Chains A and B, each alone.
Chain A
Amino acid sequence: MSADAFPSDRGALVRTEGLTMRFGGLAALNDVSLSVERGGVHAIIGPNGAGKSTFFNCLTGVLKPTAGRIVVNGEDVAGLPPHAISRKSIARSYQVTNLLRGATVLENVRVAAQSRHHPWRLHRHYRAYHQVIDQALAVIDAVGLRGKEEDLASNLSHGEQRTLEIAIALATEPMLLCLDEPTAGMSAAETRQTVELIRRIAGDLTVLIVEHDMDVVMGLARTVTVLHYGELLAAGSPAEIQADPRVLEVYLKT
């Protein structure tokens, strides 16, 4: 593994250095430097308006950061457009469900998988590319949406749509999977299932998760980073974070 060849870089999959995002006079992110280790689930928490989503949007190319670097595998990716970020093996799900609503579950996942194969073929039927379809079906199987392949994405339940979000992201074969509040709006049972799913997939890849639900975070995450008014407040293990007086103060206030 290349990670072993460079022991100094071992562990850090993503590192931000002085990441800053200003909207006019407002700094949604101010000089945030953090690093995400390889493997496991890492959480970013913070009260509303802390800059969590802005951080995600900078990381996935939706926003171009005003200043700072985002280093993935030793390469600065800050300011690259979303499709280029995706090709750096970073995938994301959205806080507000963002699917191809008029397409089937299979097509949602298949077209995502296809982006890693030969999307520029114009003359052959897309179904002739069995490998892409098999890969999509494997992902659908893995997230537990089997039997729903031919359903339209818009006809799925809310929980299933959230799961499909994750399936689409997984189909692009990411190293880093960014989940923006994956359990938002879910029932307790659905939340449990999603937590299980995230735990299962985190074995193979690194998951970065933005979450409000403290129980979800504390049960899942290896490390927790707390943002507050766009600044890094604290970082550490879940136990350390739960005992940190500054964090308690921020969360009690809101």
Chain B
Amino acid sequence: MIAAQNLSKRVETAAGPLDILTNIGLEIREREAVAIVGVSGSGKSTLLGLLAGLDLPSAGEVFLSRHRLNDLDEDGRARVRGELVGFVFQSFQLLPGLTALENVMLPLELKGARAPGDQATELLTQVGLQGRLQHYPKQLSGGEQQRVAIARAFATEPAILFADEPTGNLDNVTGERVIDLLFRLNQDKGTTLVLVTHDEHLAVRCDRLIRLEAGRVVADVEETRAS
């Protein structure tokens, strides 16, 4: 589903070039749930950005489904993202001017889906927010906001879901509930999940764990799901 070959990312800084990722090679199968772990600054988020086509590598290539991302311009990659990818972010990234319902409708409307309102309502019901449809992000708690973000991520039934520290801004109990929801939906919809986290406890719930250190893969292990 996702493949990266000899992936490197180098940025220019005031102190000279800095290698954030070096020679990453990996392959993620359909419906697989993969955790990318590592300490802060190990390059996890950069890898996620490259795999999702948000950024281009300095060297190496990335394949999403059958698309070679290196061949595509920004609009081309956006098309691929719209077709295949969903996102969940640490900071939720809900649009403050739109209600919960409208936030979930947005990707559906972008795709030109029919009856986006109905689909969005159903998704918000699935994440337990049927009573909060007309609330604005500001009026929702952190956990609720992340649940809206999850509903939004699944709205277009993407083949791949990228989640960047989805519990980073939540307390333990809320984080746990959100993760349960994420995995349940992931299972139901048969989505490929790429989860970036520094939380080992969360990582072990995935099928596979890729550990990064200073921009290199130091471990890639299949795990038995803990839950």
Judge: A and B partners, yes or no.
Answer: no
Interface residues, chain A, with chain B CB atoms under 8 Å away: none
Interface residues, chain B, with chain A CB atoms under 8 Å away: none
